[in-house]
């Protein structure tokens, strides 16, 4: 259809809103933890579709599940029962320890649902979020997103009772609470802000404060979920149970699907919330296959082990002691390398050397590869990063 990558770039510019800045290459196919561009150049992918492609590209079980379900019933609306949806709800409940599920199509939508649900069950309308938070781009989810660069041109936003407090400071949350506080919303690790990992005990303390004050706790596990941090969900590291949890990204192995999960009794009633596409049979069959791959191939454990290996190698190979490197932090295969300067140049140089990495919050190189990445591929990534840093 296109005669050259240049034609793709030109038409993209002509016909699409310029919301994304991208490198000049066109990606065509992927397998495992690698992708190929239109010239057949192969890259090791440490971006993973932004922590989405956990089971790797074109996993046969996922591809087959899509083919099979697409040949049966793709969409029917939520006016009718379907089996994949109910099966997925049961499965999600089992792996997450949450009781009830509402299906939607993206991360931001699951946050919207969570905010609405918290308002409805508490009858209150204020939210507390953390400085540095990222919860999505729709007006509601943007209202609890901190960064000025995402918000400023749209202000005033929809929710006006949002207070931002310092991340990793549980007492600040207590101080921000008042009689109209519905919920606290937090990422267990801040992803978009540069893989910010709170101190041990923080989430537990927040949980206790919320329970004492009768305020709901919403954990946004959209980026950290489905094995990314070496547990099914990041909350397990600290044994913390939220009242509401949001998931999306890796849930459908690349097929768009999200869900809001909640504890018994924290629920919408008939007609209070809905989504036309939410939880359609194709999306749910795909997510069921993705979860089965994570189970069968023990990807949660793999994330934990390879994450530890990755971190150890980063330190061993003197990347951590390079003067440009400020800090390396991570949990499972969610790793950030904070530099003392913007990392755009490093991203470009890695691309030239067949490695995809990306930059969050200007100075942090984010590594969130497919959980199926191999040790050899990790070694390759590290040697390239080392070379660039030299």
Ligand X SMILES: *Cc1c(COP(=O)(O)O)cnc(C)c1O
CB of 356 to ligand X, least distance (A): 17
Give the SS3 label for residue 44: strand
Encode burial over 74-97: b for 16+ CB neighbours within 10 A, e otherwise.
eeeeeeeebebbeebbebbeebbb
**Token digits for 186?**
């937090």
Q: How far apart are CA 302 and CA 23, in angstroms?
A: 30
In the bound state with ligand X, the residue whose beta carbon lies nearer, of 257 and 356, is 257
Instruction: Tell me whether residue 362 is one of the annotated catalytic residues.
Output: no
| Minimum CB distance to ligand X, residue 105 (Å) | 8
- Which positions touch ligand X (CB under 6 A)? 106-108, 111, 134-136, 187, 191-192, 220, 222-223, 248-249
| 220 noted as active-site residue | yes
Clarify whether 102 is annotated catalytic: no
User: Using CA atoms, how far apart are residues 165 and 176, in angstroms rounded to an integer?
Assistant: 7
Q: Which of 124, 249, 313, 331 is catalytic?
A: 249
Is the Cβ of residue 111 or residue 290 nearer to ligand X in the bound state?
A: 111
Burial of 191 (0-12, 13-18, 19+ CB in 10 A): buried
- Nearer to ligand X among residue 130 and residue 378 (C-beta): 130
Q: 49 or 97: whose CB is closer to ligand X? A: 49
Among residues 102, 127, 134, 146, which one is catalytic? 134
Which CB atom, from 110 or from 377, has the smaller least distance to ligand X? 110
- State the minimum distance, in angstroms, from the CB of residue 246 to ligand X: 7
Strand 334-339: give its sheet, edge to edge: 325-331, 334-339, 364-367, 358-360
Q: Which of 220, 235, 255, 313 is catalytic?
A: 220
Q: How far apart are the first and last CA of the chain?
A: 41
Q: Least distance to ligand X from the beta carbon of 42, Å?
A: 26
Q: How far apart are CA 122 and CA 182, in angstroms?
A: 6
Which residues are CB-neighbours of 321 under 8 A, at least 6 positions away? none
- What is the per-residue burial (b if ≥16 Cβ within 10 Å, else e) of 3-35? eeeeebeeeeeeeeeeeeeeeebbeeebebbbb
What tokens were used for 267? 């629920």
Cβ 12 to ligand X shortest distance, Å: 20
The residue of the chain with the least Cβ separation from ligand X equals 107
- Among candidate residues 356, 372, 314, 374, the one with its CA nearest the CA of residue 338: 314
Minimum CB separation of residue 52 from ligand X in Å reads: 9
Residue closer to ligand X (CB basis): 227 or 385: 227
Which residues are tagged catalytic? 134, 220, 249
């Amino acid at each position: 259809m296109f005669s050259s990558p240049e034609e793709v770039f030109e038409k993209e510019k002509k016909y699409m809103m310029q919301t994304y800045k991208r490198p000049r290459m066109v990606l065509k196919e992927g397998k495992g933890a690698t992708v190929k561009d239109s010239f057949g150049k192969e890259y090791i992918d440490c971006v993973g579709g932004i922590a989405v492609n956990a089971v790797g590209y074109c996993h046969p079980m996922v591809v087959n599940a899509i083919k099979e379900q697409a040949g049966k019933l793709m969409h029917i609306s939520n006016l009718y029962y379907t089996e994949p949806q109910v099966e997925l709800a049961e499965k999600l409940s089992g792996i997450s320890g949450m009781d009830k599920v509402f299906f939607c199509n993206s991360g931001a939508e699951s946050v919207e649902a969570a905010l609405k649900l918290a308002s409805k069950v508490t009858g209150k309308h204020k939210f507390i979020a953390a400085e540095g938070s990222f919860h999505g781009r729709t007006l509601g989810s943007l209202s609890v997103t901190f960064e000025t660069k995402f918000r400023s041109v749209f202000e005033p936003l929809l929710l006006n009772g949002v207070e931002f407090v310092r991340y990793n400071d549980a007492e600040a949350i207590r101080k921000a609470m008042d009689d109209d506080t519905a919920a606290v919303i937090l990422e267990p690790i801040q992803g978009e802000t540069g893989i910010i990992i709170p101190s041990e005990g923080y989430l537990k303390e927040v949980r206790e404060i919320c329970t004492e004050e009768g305020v709901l706790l919403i954990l946004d596990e959209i980026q950290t979920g489905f094995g990314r941090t070496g547990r099914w969900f990041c909350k397990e590291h600290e044994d913390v149970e939220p009242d509401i949890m949001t998931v999306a990204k890796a849930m459908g192995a690349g097929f768009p699907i999200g869900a809001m999960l909640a504890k018994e009794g924290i629920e919408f009633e008939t007609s209070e919330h809905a989504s036309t596409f939410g939880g359609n049979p194709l999306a749910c069959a795909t997510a069921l296959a993705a979860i089965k791959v994570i189970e069968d191939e023990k990807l949660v454990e793999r994330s934990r082990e390879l994450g530890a290996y990755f971190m150890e190698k980063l330190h061993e190979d003197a990347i951590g002691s390079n003067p440009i490197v400020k800090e390396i932090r991570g949990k499972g295969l969610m790793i950030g390398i904070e530099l003392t300067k913007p990392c755009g140049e490093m991203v470009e140089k890695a691309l030239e050397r067949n490695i995809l990495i990306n930059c969050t919050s200007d100075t942090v190189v984010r590594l969130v590869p497919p959980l199926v990445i191999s040790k050899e591929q990790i070694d390759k990534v590290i040697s390239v990063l080392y070379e660039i840093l030299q």
